[in-house]
Amino acid sequence: MSGLLQDLNSQAFTVFGEHIKWSDLIGNLLGLGALALGWRRSVLSWPVQLLSGLVLVAAYWSADLSGGVGKQLVVIVVSVWGWLQWQRGRRGTGDLAVRFATWTERAWLVAGTAVGTVGVALLFQAYDLSWAPWQDAYLFTGTLAAMVAQGRGWVEFWFAWLAVDLVGVPLAFNSGLAFSGLIYIVYFVLVIAGMRSWWLRSRTAQQLPATILPKGATA
């Protein structure tokens, strides 16, 4: 097992003087694939996301970012929950309805992220679990909030990922995970495209009486 971790955290190549680790490379490419599948509302987004989380645990462990490790453990657990949610949502018609969250749901999402960030940051500080406790804590709780929104089929899922990326990009570069920082440029493009697609899909869904879109419907 230790040999596998060493291989995953070994250097793959160098870009502009930045050393790219295999774990950082593979994990983020899988995450990119999961995001693209989420854009298409494919249930395969969740198992690919789960696999990405497993690989990125090694990357964040090597960077001494407990929040990053915790974030990926959350990704793994929530991926199982989201997988079940989307499987249930697709029963009968084979497609998934998406919508904007209500103001109450948004308030709970924002409040949960804020309270969770403070609580996790204080925990990291108390036990010296991270060299960047507040940023690390924000990534931990922000990722959880984004994945919950995705599992619920809320368009706000995309906005949540943008908010996480604003902190995640500089932290990745400062942690020696250069590929994580570079790949977020591609993530940003996918997030914008996915946001537009889900936004249009939610408008289509409002015109239908059913909670699940007919199979084969397009935005």
Q: How far apart are CA 22 and CA 154, in angstroms?
A: 33
The proportion of the chain whose per-residue pLDDT surpasses 90, expressed as a percent, equals 28
Residue 211 has pLDDT above 50, yes or no: no
In the prediction, which pLDDT does 18 show? 64
pLDDT tens, position by position, 104-143: 999 999 999 999 999 999 998 998 877 888 988 898 899 8
Which pTM does this prediction carry?
A: 0.75
Per-residue pLDDT, averaged over 24-50, amounts to 90
Q: Kindly provide the b/e burial profile for residues 92-105, where b requires at least 16 CB atoms within 10 angstroms of the residue's own CB.
A: ebebbbbbbbeeeb
With tokens 């500089």, the residue in question is 170
Helix ranges (DSSP H) in 40-177: 45-62, 66-89, 103-126, 133-152, 156-174
Comparing C-alpha atoms, which of 65, 48, 24 is closest to residue 150?
Answer: 48
What the block records as the tokens of 56 is 């990125």
pLDDT of 112 reads 95
Q: Where are the domains of the chain?
A: 2-206
Q: How confident is the model at residue 10 (pLDDT cuts 50, 70, 90)?
A: confident
CA separation, residue 42 to residues 14, 80, 113 (Å): 34, 14, 26
pLDDT at 218 over 60: no
pLDDT, one tens digit per residue, over 42-99 is 999 999 999 999 998 888 887 776 766 877 888 899 999 999 988 887 765 566 778 9
Show the tokens assigned to 23.
Answer: 């774990």
Q: Which of 177, 171, 166, 148 is nearest to 56 (CA)?
A: 177
